[in-house]
């Protein structure tokens, strides 16, 4: 019998699984094997002290796997700003090789004997003795005392219960990874607001550029159908094109991801609990995605180890406090852009 089943094998699910296994719990992870790139590769330097506390591999630039972020260049509303990373371990951020980072966590999980089943949870129901009976999409039947939902923004397990995801105005991230640069490239993060959305762009550790346009679902649908229009949007930008040649993206596919911030209410129930983006997801302007996943994965493990409802209530209160803090930062960005552009995209989200 599996004591705790974790649905999802991103940073939140893996951190929770590792911490629970080390506490003596029997853990199984159920998650699909993803072969495609996942966006979201920035983490603040403050993540390394957390990884150290969790006895997990630190992020560094040895071997060229990950890369230090040299700072940020932004053109937001009418304000141009350049920030350099201060020579402090806590303030130097990292551009991750996302696959390598998650593999390092999975290696720790494997070393602890945590079993991973490739697949997705299809149905969950309670048996007469109160345990969970779980069926996966590949026909496996499992039993667990607890379920941890680490399935990302879909919160596919929690939504099968009474939980609801409270979201803001929908935001779609249209992204593409370009061809490798044939010359020196910047190690800065680039951010630019436009009348109908905002850009994030950077060079990944392997030298390939990634560019993401955050916009409304309606415009996103049109641009995804016509990638040349997405490239033109990038070409028309005032800042991004100064650092990244738009020609590197010509002919490359443009993909869409949901970037709408959301908060699950409640984030726990009778023998289930959510963590990572399934519990609380931020607007990408906050740059807290992976950091939040690692932290909430650790917090949810603590709550389950303590094993009482009070611990779960405190966990939810901690998420609410975090949400308020990050929302203040997001509001400052969006309100300044709405005053400058006065377009429906920004006014709807301010």
User: Per-residue pLDDT for 264 more than 60?
Assistant: yes
User: Per-residue pLDDT for 174 more than 80?
Assistant: yes
Worst-scoring range by mean pLDDT, 68-77, 83-92, 201-210, 276-285?
83-92
Looking at residue 199, which CATH number applies to its domain?
3.30.9.100
- Same domain? 78 vs 215: yes
- Same domain? 152 vs 274: yes
- Same domain? 66 vs 88: yes
In a domain, residue 77? The reply is yes
Number of domains in the chain: 2
Question: What's the pLDDT tens digit per position in 96-155?
Answer: 999 999 999 999 999 999 999 999 999 999 988 889 999 999 999 999 999 999 999 989
In a domain, residue 338? The reply is no
- Mean pLDDT in residue range 60-79: 92
Under the banding of pLDDT at 50, 70 and 90, the label for residue 90 is very low
**Residue at which a domain ends, from 200, 229, 259:** 259
- Same domain? 220 vs 270: no
- Same domain? 205 vs 276: no
Prediction pTM value: 0.94
**Residue at which a domain ends, from 217, 239, 259:** 259
- Same domain? 149 vs 32: yes
Give me the domain span that covers residue 298: 2-40+98-164+262-326
- Same domain? 64 vs 30: no
In a domain, residue 339? The reply is no
Under the banding of pLDDT at 50, 70 and 90, the label for residue 91 is low
pLDDT at 332: 93
- Same domain? 133 vs 186: no
Alpha-carbon gap, residue 79 to 44, rounded angstroms = 23
Tallying the residues shown for the chain, one arrives at 350
Question: What's the pLDDT tens digit per position in 269-314?
Answer: 999 999 999 999 999 998 778 999 999 999 999 999 998 999 999 9
- Same domain? 114 vs 218: no
**Residue at which a domain ends, from 203, 233, 259:** 259
- Same domain? 300 vs 191: no
In a domain, residue 66? The reply is yes
Looking at residue 7, which CATH number applies to its domain?
3.50.50.60
Average pLDDT, the chain: 92
Tokens of 308: 């009482």
Alpha-carbon gap, residue 15 to 102, rounded angstroms = 10
pLDDT at 88: 44
In a domain, residue 76? The reply is yes
pLDDT at 85: 63
In a domain, residue 52? The reply is no
In a domain, residue 349? The reply is no
Most confident segment among 13-27, 128-142, 178-192, 280-294 = 13-27
Question: What's the pLDDT tens digit per position in 152-167?
Answer: 998 999 988 778 888 8
- Same domain? 281 vs 237: no
In a domain, residue 332? The reply is no
Burial of 125 (0-12, 13-18, 19+ CB in 10 A): exposed
User: Per-residue pLDDT for 89 more than 80?
Assistant: no
- Same domain? 81 vs 175: yes
């Amino acid at each position: 019998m599996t004591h705790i089943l974790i649905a999802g094998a991103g940073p939140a699910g893996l951190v929770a699984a590792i911490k629970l296994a080390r506490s003596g719990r029997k853990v199984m992870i159920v998650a699909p094997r993803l072969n495609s790139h996942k966006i979201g590769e920035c983490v603040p330097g403050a993540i390394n002290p957390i990884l150290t506390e969790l006895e997990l591999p630190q992020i560094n630039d040895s071997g060229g796997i990950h890369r230090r972020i040299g700072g940020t260049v932004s053109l937001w509303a009418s304000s141009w700003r350049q920030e350099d990373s201060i020579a402090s371990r806590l303030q130097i951020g990292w551009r991750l090789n996302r696959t390598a980072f998650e593999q390092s966590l999975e290696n720790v999980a494997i070393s602890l004997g945590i079993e991973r089943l490739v697949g997705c949870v299809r149905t969950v129901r309670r048996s007469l003795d109160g345990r969970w009976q779980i069926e996966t999409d590949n026909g496996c039947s499992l039993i667990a005392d607890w379920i941890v939902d680490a399935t990302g923004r879909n919160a596919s397990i929690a939504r099968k219960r009474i939980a609801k995801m409270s979201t803001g105005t929908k935001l779609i991230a249209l992204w593409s990874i370009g061809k490798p640069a044939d010359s020196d490239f910047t190690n800065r993060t680039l951010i630019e607001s436009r009348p109908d959305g905002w850009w994030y762009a950077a060079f990944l550790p392997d030298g390939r550029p990634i560019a993401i346009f955050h916009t409304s679902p309606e415009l996103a649908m049109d641009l995804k159908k016509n990638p040349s229009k997405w490239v033109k949007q990038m070409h028309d930008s005032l800042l991004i094109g100064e650092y990244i040649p738009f020609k590197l993206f010509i002919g490359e596919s443009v993909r869409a991801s949901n970037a709408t911030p959301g908060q699950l209410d409640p984030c726990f129930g009778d023998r289930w609990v959510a963590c990572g983006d399934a519990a609380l997801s931020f607007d990408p302007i906050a740059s807290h995605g992976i950091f939040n996943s690692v932290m909430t994965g650790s917090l949810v493990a603590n709550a389950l180890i303590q094993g009482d409802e009070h611990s779960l209530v405190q966990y939810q209160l901690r998420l609410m406090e975090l949400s308020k803090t990050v929302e203040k930062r997001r509001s400052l960005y969006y309100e300044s852009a709405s005053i400058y552009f006065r377009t429906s995209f920004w006014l709807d989200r301010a």
